[in-house]
Amino acid sequence: MKEGPDIAHIAALIGDPARANMLTALMSGKALTVSELAEEAGVTIQTASSHLSKLDAGGLLRPRKQGRHKYFSLANDDVAHVLEGLMGLAAGSGHLRTRTGPKDTELRKARVCYNHLAGDMGTQMFDSLMAQGHLAMDGGDLILTETGVEFTTGFQIDLSILRAKRTPLCRECLDWSERRSHLAGSLGRAFLSRFEELSWAKRDQKTRVVTFSQSGAKEFEQFFAMR
């Protein structure tokens, strides 16, 4: 057997339909119980527990116990990054779920990708920050420029706190619906949180849809317009 990371093991964990549905549900960034994940996967609680044990052992989940309930969330940003990439690959290959509805359009417009903004508005924000010179590529790495620091602090985002985290400050994430990059990393998370604090936007925990108010959408366009 060749040496190196065993991607087949991780792929097998993600590849099971029930487990894939559970992981996708956790892309909202919200921790869910076994019963909630069982409902998402369409399996019994006993079967869901077995699947969750395998995902936990594989390092894909972070279990937490609070009171009588045990909650599960994705282990880290890396897991979410891989899942979003797989969604993009599936969409690009024509492997889409047959169940569609009104929320599909809303998901494509703006949604939560684990903890940051994705969809059309997410890629618009990324493209705008790049066009304005607030983000730049440096040797293959996405960085926040000097003007980006000024722009971000003007948005009342504390960069010293973000830089103290182990999560990369800026990171590209391939958007599954737009097939272009949106902003991930601790800065991507901070922007989405700031939009919520300003009452520009509100996330739907069940569908991952992010809904911008009329005034919030206007403010967003002002700050992240393509010039």
Confidence at residue 100, expressed as pLDDT on a 0 to 100 scale:
41
Does 38 share its domain with 113? Answer: no
Does 111 share its domain with 67? Answer: no
pLDDT in tens, the chain (227 residues): 566 677 888 999 998 999 999 998 888 777 889 999 999 899 999 999 999 999 999 999 999 887 788 889 898 888 888 888 888 777 766 655 544 444 578 888 999 988 899 999 999 999 999 999 999 999 889 999 999 999 999 999 999 999 998 889 999 988 877 778 899 999 999 999 999 999 999 998 778 899 999 999 999 999 998 76
Classified as helix, coil or strand, 182 is strand
3-state secondary structure 95-136: CCCCCCCHHHHHHHHCEEECCEEECHHHHHHHHHHHHCCCEE
Residue 91 in any domain: the answer is no
Residue 89 in any domain: the answer is no
Residue 95 in any domain: the answer is no
Does 66 share its domain with 106? Answer: no
Confidence at residue 103, expressed as pLDDT on a 0 to 100 scale:
57
Separation of first and last alpha carbons in the chain: 53
Domain end (from 75, 90, 111):
75
Residue 217 in any domain: the answer is yes
Nearest to 110 by CA among 92, 97, 125, 98: 125
> Which structural domain range is residue 42 located in?
7-75
Residue 67: CATH number of its domain: 1.10.10.10
Does 21 share its domain with 111? Answer: no
Does 25 share its domain with 106? Answer: no
Q: Rounded to an integer, what is the distance from CA 66 to the centroid of its chain?
A: 24
Does 30 share its domain with 123? Answer: no
Number of domains in the chain: 2
Confidence at residue 95, expressed as pLDDT on a 0 to 100 scale:
56
Confidence at residue 102, expressed as pLDDT on a 0 to 100 scale:
40
Residue 46 in any domain: the answer is yes
> Rounded CA gap, 126 and 129, in Å?
5
Q: Tell me the pTM.
A: 0.70
Does 68 share its domain with 150? Answer: no
Burial tier of 17 (Cβ tally within 10 Å: 0-12, 13-18, 19+): exposed
Confidence at residue 97, expressed as pLDDT on a 0 to 100 scale:
55
> Rounded CA gap, 197 and 225, in Å?
21
3-state secondary structure 34-71: HHHHHHHHCCCHHHHHHHHHHHHHCCCEEEEEECCEEE
Confidence at residue 96, expressed as pLDDT on a 0 to 100 scale:
55
